[in-house]
Amino acid sequence: MSAVDVESSAMFVFSDEQNALRATVRRFLAERSPETEVRRLMETETGYDTAVWQLMAGQLGLQGLALPEKFGGSGFGFVDLQIVLEEMGRALLCAPFLSGVVLAANAVLLSGDEAACAQYLPGIAEGGTIAALAVTEASGSWRAGDVTTAATAVVGGYALSGEKLFVPDGHVADLLFVLARTAVGPSLFAVDPAAGGVTREPMGTLDATRKQSRLTFDGARARLIGEDGGAERPLSQTLDLAAAALAAEQAGGARRVLEMAVEYAKVREQFGRPIGSFQAIKHKCADMLLAVESATSAAYAVGWAIDEGSDEVGVLASLAKAFCSEAYTHCTAENIQIHGGIGFTWEHPAHLYFKRAKSTEILFGNPRYHRALLADRLGI
């Protein structure tokens, strides 16, 4: 996205390269992630297609798109990553992209541990390493200060004990980044789940298009990433990026359900005329359009702030996450209403988007949490 000054205001437009990126990703997902594939992957334990994952990395370079070139990435901006995520949300892609490429990779990057970045990020960028970030526990909190998983210093590293819940794609990850508490404070650790001391199991959740898992650590060996006791600030920054990424994904899903609603309203007839000709349906579609356009603007505002290095990233991230969550849920609910009874059935995709919307509404904190965070960050 480029910013062009127009008198005293700013106008944001996508570049030709970004439009081409969007078209390429949309075409790829139309072929590789149609509804039939989404439904098939929902029924699998892993929840994603390894062949598609490798194509995303090898042909399109999506996993390394926004990672620094010195760590195996392509060095593109966060807005470029949001374009990809918006299209993934539109297609309901089932893949460990948000968990690994956004959450885990940025947690390592923001730790400031150059050695860890050089060791772990190239594998994520090339798609060979599936990574996950484990933060939440029984409380469901994403705050570093609420972590109780214990990290004890042992010869050659640390040993972790405790339990993590609702870990996106944790059950299929080749590499886990775990927030745990040392004697100094919350710290980030890398854990090889195959090395022993780690039990993983998928959790039954509302949205089967994005798998979550329970991880139990019983003396699992771990490597400290970054500063001992210094994980709170990098985690907060990582979650701001994750909120911005998820906001783009939500905007993409909301736009798709708006299209579904309008298409159906044009062809479904009642009393001898399309239901879209009735005032009540027109109002619903107009309200959805307003929500979608506002959500898209909110999502890209924080993405642009990230690329510009603005000190308003935290404020805009919470604002976007709160607004986009409610906009997506509203649009999916209205889409079901416009479709009537068929929208509630298992055979119709409308309810898949509704479940994704409700799930992402609380992921990284619900709208109430982010409004409170926004108020704190604004000092009000």
Provide the pLDDT confidence category of residue 282 given band limits of 50, 70 and 90: very high
Cβ proximity of 197 and 214 under 8 Å: no
pTM greater than 0.75 (yes/no): yes
Provide the pLDDT confidence category of residue 346 given band limits of 50, 70 and 90: confident
Cβ proximity of 321 and 377 under 8 Å: no
- At residue 169, what are phi and psi to the nearest 5 degrees? 60, 20
Count of Cβ atoms closer than 10 Å to residue 195 Cβ: 10
Using the CB atoms, write b or e for 280-315: b if 16+ within 10 Å. Answer: ebeebbeebbebbeebbebbbbbbbbbbeeeeebbb
Would you say residue 2 has pLDDT above 50?
Answer: no
Would you say residue 9 has pLDDT above 60?
Answer: no
Q: Tens digit of pLDDT for each residue in 152-189?
A: 999 999 999 999 999 999 999 999 999 999 999 999 99
Q: Tens digit of pLDDT for each residue in 122-156?
A: 999 999 999 999 999 999 999 999 999 999 999 99
Average pLDDT score over residue span 191-196:
94
Q: Tens digit of pLDDT for each residue in 208-221?
A: 999 999 999 999 99
Would you say residue 195 has pLDDT above 70?
Answer: yes
Query: Using the 8-state DSSP alphabet, how is residue 244 labeled?
Result: H
Average pLDDT, the chain: 95
At 10 the pLDDT is 58
